[in-house]
Amino acid sequence: MSTPTSDASSAPARRLLIVGPPGAGKGTQAVRIAEQLGIPAISTGDIFRANVSGQTELGVLAKSYMDKGEYVPDSVTNDMVRSRLAEDDARGGFLLDGYPRTLDQVEALDGMLSELGTGLDRVLLLVVETEEVVGRLVARGAEQGRSDDTEETIRRRLEVYAEQTAPLIDVYDARGLVRRVDGMASIDEVTAALREALAGR
């Protein structure tokens, strides 16, 4: 039997993160890319929202942070991701959307993946213009009725992203994992650019 890590250099990139500010189009692109690669798109925001809808204990807790544009505490989020990554469908790869978002989460994810005997192949970064993004999010809030898509919350979410999540990019850059893609192009163009970023080295 061959060991899965013995020839990592030729293995296709299938253990992936997609990163970018709120409204960059991460969710839309994650679903497309994951479907094309046959791996699950794992969105922590979606998991929290499902719990909010289901009025679970986790949902009640998460909502109190989400509605203010703040992050749910790392301990809660890390445990949730740990159990999701342990599910069978994530064994052959995954695309994490919206996680990790803090340096503590980066460390936690490193630990989870090393326990699973694996690591990250690539980090896809969607680069967008902030003011454009605010406009997109206000429109989404009106369409989907998302309670965290009001202008005040959006501005707070962008601040929190700049303070807590943007520094992660340096960490992954230092590991040579980050590929930058212009997130202002059309949805199809962004998907194509992301596929290219996954194909190249």
Enumerate the active-site residues. 26, 101, 140, 146, 157
Return d(Cα 178, Cα 173) in angstroms, integer.
5
Rounded Cα–Cα distance for residues 169 and 137 (Å): 23
Task: Give the nearest distance from C-beta 153 to ligand AMP in angstroms.
Answer: 8
**Which residue of the chain is nearest ligand AMP when measured via CB?**
45
* CB of 9 vs ligand AMP, minimal distance in Å: 30
Q: What are phi and psi of 123, to 5 degrees?
A: -120, 120
Q: Rounded to the nearest whole angstrom, what is the least distance from the CB of residue 199 to ligand AMP in the complex? A: 26
User: Which stretches of the chain bind ligand AMP, using CB under 6 A?
Assistant: 22, 44-45, 48, 65-66, 69, 71-72, 77, 98-99, 101, 105, 148, 157
Element (H, E) at 178: strand 178-182
Whichever of 166 and 192 has its CB closer to ligand AMP, that residue is: 166
Give me the phi and psi of 128, to 5 degrees please.
-135, 170
Retrieve residue 129's tokens: 């213009």
List C-alpha distances in Å: 129 to 41, 112, 172. 24, 33, 21
Q: How far is the CB of 69 from ligand AMP (least distance, A)?
A: 6
Nearer to ligand AMP, 94 or 99 (CB): 99
Q: Which is nearer to ligand AMP, 61 or 184 (CB)?
A: 61
Based on CB atoms, which residue is closest to ligand AMP, 58 or 197? Answer: 58
Which residue in 46, 37, 83, 86 sits closest to 66, CA to CA?
46
